[in-house]
Amino acid sequence: MPISLGELATQFGCELIGDPDVLVGGVASLPNAGPDSLSFLAGAAYKKQLSSTKAAAVILSAGDADESPVAAILHDDPYACYARMAAVICPPPIYKPGVHASAVVASSATVADSAHLAANVVIDERSSVGENVYLGPGTVIGPDCIIGDDCRFIANVTLARSVEIGDRGVFHPGAVIGADGFGNAMTPDGWIKVPQLGGVRIGNDVEIGANTTVDCGALDDTIIEDGVRIDNLCMIGHNVHVGAHTAMAAMVGIAGSTVIGKRCMFAGRGGAVGHITVCDDVTVAAMTFLSKDVTTPGTYAASFPADDARSWSKQLARFRRLGKLIERVTKLEKGGESSSD
Amino acid sequence: MPISLGELATQFGCELIGDPDVLVGGVASLPNAGPDSLSFLAGAAYKKQLSSTKAAAVILSAGDADESPVAAILHDDPYACYARMAAVICPPPIYKPGVHASAVVASSATVADSAHLAANVVIDERSSVGENVYLGPGTVIGPDCIIGDDCRFIANVTLARSVEIGDRGVFHPGAVIGADGFGNAMTPDGWIKVPQLGGVRIGNDVEIGANTTVDCGALDDTIIEDGVRIDNLCMIGHNVHVGAHTAMAAMVGIAGSTVIGKRCMFAGRGGAVGHITVCDDVTVAAMTFLSKDVTTPGTYAASFPADDARSWSKQLARFRRLGKLIERVTKLEKGGESSSD
Amino acid sequence: MPISLGELATQFGCELIGDPDVLVGGVASLPNAGPDSLSFLAGAAYKKQLSSTKAAAVILSAGDADESPVAAILHDDPYACYARMAAVICPPPIYKPGVHASAVVASSATVADSAHLAANVVIDERSSVGENVYLGPGTVIGPDCIIGDDCRFIANVTLARSVEIGDRGVFHPGAVIGADGFGNAMTPDGWIKVPQLGGVRIGNDVEIGANTTVDCGALDDTIIEDGVRIDNLCMIGHNVHVGAHTAMAAMVGIAGSTVIGKRCMFAGRGGAVGHITVCDDVTVAAMTFLSKDVTTPGTYAASFPADDARSWSKQLARFRRLGKLIERVTKLEKGGESSSD
């Protein structure tokens, strides 16, 4: 919805250099922005795009204001400011309250009058849906779930059972929360299933990506604290505890019973083995997994970036001869003669 | 459902030390158990929790019985015993037979009278559903599928087509079984699809995790034998054969046409390349993939646990200088003087 | 549908050695083929199966024709020829046009008369569905999507919103296209969501595997060009651009804003970090990720195949002593005496 630069600046407490009456109706990147779009400059790599932008205005830090060819909105953190303003200019869709004729709501379930249940939504026994919640098409809410206010389930999300969610959560398609944890006991006759009896508790302001799975606990609950962000195709095992404001990029896996601290960040395909404790403020590099407790904040890594395959093949051979190399050095240290390896 | 310690001990042939008339109505971990809960001690790490437990009774091995402050149920394998008793005390939900009004069953499909089809279930042509099967909301059974007795599909499971399943299987939300294998032939005009014409055959007592995919075979069938346990977000490629009682933790991937033996175990994010054969009783460590036939039972690994990122960066540099190091050692062996590297 | 060898040979311009009137009604591998099945020989590894085949005919290269015990269809690329002939002999199912009574189509959506919408399909506002499209059970087409002609959505596919798809695409169950990209800005109060406002544009002849996710762009669109093949459980981040005829095996992940060239191939669990550019004709080995721009076509690798766990453990220890080893060599070069490491 169109809004004036002046209103935006006032609403978010920013200084505006330019005409406050200009209206913006959209947002765009610096090169693609037109005269009715707001843009932003965050990161030195994009600075070269600034001089030729045709945006109505650019959000940038005070130090860059002089170089803007158009109106400037000043903010110390232009990206965060952009995120907030974009949500005003391009708000998420608003849904009228109501339950689609094809939705199926169990008799013991409760749904707030202000909620919107789209086509083919199913809500099972004893579950409750809070105010202004949007449940997109095909979403299944199993038994004994509690969904707080203002949550959005885009489509085809599944809460298996016993999932409790706070307010303002966003759940993307294919996410599965509250499925049984992987608990099996080996016997002479093969595996027997260990009943998974805990649930999942999710705080406020949590976002869970498409096709991500968060399993229920074996006895106690799996816990995701406030403000956690989890991308697509991640796996949170049973009884994991993820601290507030931790973020996980796609394909991260956290094995059962591991405790992850607050404000941690996992790059794509990172992870952790089960039954460890990771302190606050730990960053894990791409394709790296933590194998033991982490007690010191910082960045952890153990991945090998791709190499030309021929070079890699040679390098692998060298790596495999390490034992031999060590022997050769030991021999040299002892004054031995040439080896033939 | 509440049951007396005496009944439990009798049913599973255990010795009970304590009052047989005490009723338990739930299960809990040692620290959280109250006087109406059964608990268990499995693993030395938990032994320190035993002395203060308030459980009604603890399942433990005879050697630990003296240390239990409460009633004791003796079993050589307390965890397996717990799994069986927990399934009695906290059984899975029972569903009344019936087909929800919103379910859609093709005219040529057959559904046992004792089966329960929840809301929005779809069953396509020529498929059959066995006795006491539970098909949760949104589950889609494509054409030409056969589902044995006592299977449970929690919700939103998809059998694409031509999937045959034995008895007592458990299928978690988002699992996709019988989708086309990845078969493509390169031509000067780009890829052309190789029709995937095989199916999937799954034995008895198999559990498949949330959002896991098991593809149909190209010509012959993909096969999962009895008692296999597969966790979430795993991928079983076309024409893979998984032997009985093999278990795969989350995010494991087995590429096409590979044969995995019986009683193998894959830790999280393990895997195997295509077209290899892996013998029985092979264990694969986390983040490790098998690249060739395995003919000897045992444990296989090839992963690097995370290190402090600065240390890792140095280590990576050292690794990359391995060729140079080998040259230096060779030079030393030949009596060469100092190198400047 | 049965077809004569003569018709097949004529239709695809192949030489036939054998009786043109023999009918084939199926396809099979060399060992399993019976007298009404067509088979093929592609790859030297299978040549030993040729002499005992009972197929009606075998597609093979001219050089192998002499060794066929049955009729031979000659083609320079037997596998590609097989793929084409198999699609004629065993065509995909044909669906009658029509909209199932349980499907829900928004008033502003348009659906071609020749399309088939199966049970519980949902089509949201302003979306359009082209000629001969098949939308399988439970498929959700969010708002503002455009689906070209002859596409097939097997079942339970989700297009979140703003997805544009060309002709002849195949989308497997659980695939999620157009969900929000992972965009978050850190603030002193925690993460705030960066609105994801772009869409996804997918070309012609694209196939997307089961439970794969392709996110919408942040501002501009995520792009998948013509002929791309993506297997199961892959992740394509926001604003990624995948060039024509690139193929990705299962569990590949491409992080945000990365540009992948044409005709690239990613083996299972390969990937690329965000914000890099990869040229045409790049092959990435299994479990390998590209960490920087690639400007030279070729194969790239960085994975360690599994080793016996005991050997690997020793090797890991050697690897960790690399710094020490380098010191020892340096000392030797300086004429130092024996070290005790």
* Interface contact B285-C118, CB threshold 8 A: no
Chain C neighbors of A333, CB-CB under 8 A:
328, 332, 337-339
- Please indicate if any CB of chain A lies within 8 Å of the CB of B84: yes
Q: Which residue in C305, C326, C333 is closest to B332 by CB distance?
A: C333
Has residue B336 got a pLDDT over 90? no
The stretches of chain B forming alpha helices (DSSP H) are 5-11, 78-89, 309-320, 322-333
Has residue B30 got a pLDDT over 50? yes
Has residue B337 got a pLDDT over 60? no
Which of the residues A100, A238, A241, A275 is marked catalytic?
A: A238
pLDDT at C45: 87
pLDDT at C336: 63
Specify the range with the lowest mean pLDDT, choosing from A270-279, A331-340, B144-153, B244-253. Answer: A331-340
Gap between the Cα atoms of B214 and C257, Å rounded:
30
Instruction: Confirm whether B238 is a catalytic residue.
Output: yes
Gap between the Cα atoms of A41 and A58, Å rounded:
7
Has residue C43 got a pLDDT over 90? no
* Interface contact B308-A298, CB threshold 8 A: yes
Do residues B188 and C224 touch, judged by C-beta distance below 8 A?
no
Would you tell me which residues 33-72 of chain B have a C-beta closer than 8 angstroms to some C-beta of chain A?
Answer: none
Chain A neighbors of C213, CB-CB under 8 A:
174, 209-211, 232-233, 250
Under DSSP, the state recorded for A160 is -
Domains C3-89 and C98-300 share a fold: no
For chain B, the first-to-last Cα distance in angstroms comes to: 73
Do residues A240 and A228 touch, judged by C-beta distance below 8 A?
no
**In sequence order, which residues have a C-beta less than 8 Å from that of residue A113 and are 6 or more positions away?**
A97
pLDDT tens figures, C201-213: 999 999 999 999 9
Which of the residues C172, C238, C241, C245 is marked catalytic?
A: C238
Do residues B244 and B262 touch, judged by C-beta distance below 8 A?
yes
pLDDT at C44: 86
- Please indicate if any CB of chain C lies within 8 Å of the CB of B337: yes
Has residue C108 got a pLDDT over 50? yes
- Please indicate if any CB of chain C lies within 8 Å of the CB of A78: no
Pull the structure tokens for residue B230: 């597969």
Q: How confident is the model at residue C1 (pLDDT cuts 50, 70, 90)?
A: confident
Gap between the Cα atoms of C319 and C10, Å rounded:
61
Helix (H, G, I), strand (E, B) or coil at A171: strand
Q: How confident is the model at residue B335 (pLDDT cuts 50, 70, 90)?
A: confident
Gap between the Cα atoms of C287 and B32, Å rounded:
42
Do residues A249 and A267 touch, judged by C-beta distance below 8 A?
yes
CATH code for the domain defined by A3-89? 3.40.1390.10
Gap between the Cα atoms of A46 and B21, Å rounded:
74
| Residue ranges of chain A with per-residue pLDDT less than 50 | 338-341
Would you tell me which residues 239-258 of chain C have a C-beta closer than 8 angstroms to some C-beta of chain B?
Answer: 244-245, 247, 249-251
Residue pairs between chains A and B whose CB atoms are closer than 8 Å: 219
Has residue C222 got a pLDDT over 90? yes
* Interface contact C291-A307, CB threshold 8 A: no
Adjacent-strand bridge partners of B27: B38
pLDDT at A336: 63
Helix (H, G, I), strand (E, B) or coil at A48: helix
Neighbours, chain C (3 or more CB pairs < 8 A): A, B
Pull the structure tokens for residue A215: 């399993």
- Please indicate if any CB of chain B lies within 8 Å of the CB of A174: yes
Span B182-197, average pLDDT: 96
- Whole-angstrom CA distances from A259 to A233, A305, C259 are 20, 28, 36
What secondary structure does DSSP assign to C229-286, as a single string?
Answer: EE-TT-EE-TT-EE-TT-EE-TT-EE-TT-EE-TT-EE-TT-EE-TT-EE-SSEEE-T
B96 or B340: which carries more pLDDT confidence?
A: B96
What is the residue extent of each domain of chain B? 3-89, 98-300, 310-341
pLDDT at A196: 97
Which of B209, B213, B203 lies closest to B262 in space, CA to CA? B203
Do residues B305 and A292 touch, judged by C-beta distance below 8 A?
yes
Length of chain B in residues, anyone? 341
Span B164-183, average pLDDT: 98
Would you tell me which residues 300-319 of chain C have a C-beta closer than 8 angstroms to some C-beta of chain A?
Answer: 300-304, 314-315, 318-319
Q: Which residue in C120, C285, C314 is closest to A309 by CB distance?
A: C285
% of chain B with per-residue pLDDT over 90: 96
**In sequence order, which residues have a C-beta less than 8 Å from that of residue A45 and are 6 or more positions away?**
none
Domain C98-300 has CATH 3.20.20.450: no
pLDDT at C339: 47
Neighbours, chain A (3 or more CB pairs < 8 A): B, C
Which of C27, C118, A20 lies closest to B196 in space, CA to CA? C27
pLDDT tens figures, B34-63: 999 999 999 888 999 999 999 999 999 999
pLDDT at C18: 96
Gap between the Cα atoms of C324 and C336, Å rounded:
15
Pull the structure tokens for residue A41: 């400059």
pLDDT at A341: 45
pTM above 0.90, yes or no: yes
Task: Please give, one letter per residue, the 3-state secondary structure of C7-45.
Answer: HHHHHCCCEEECCCCCEECEECCCCCCCCCEEEECCCHH
Gap between the Cα atoms of B218 and B185, Å rounded:
13
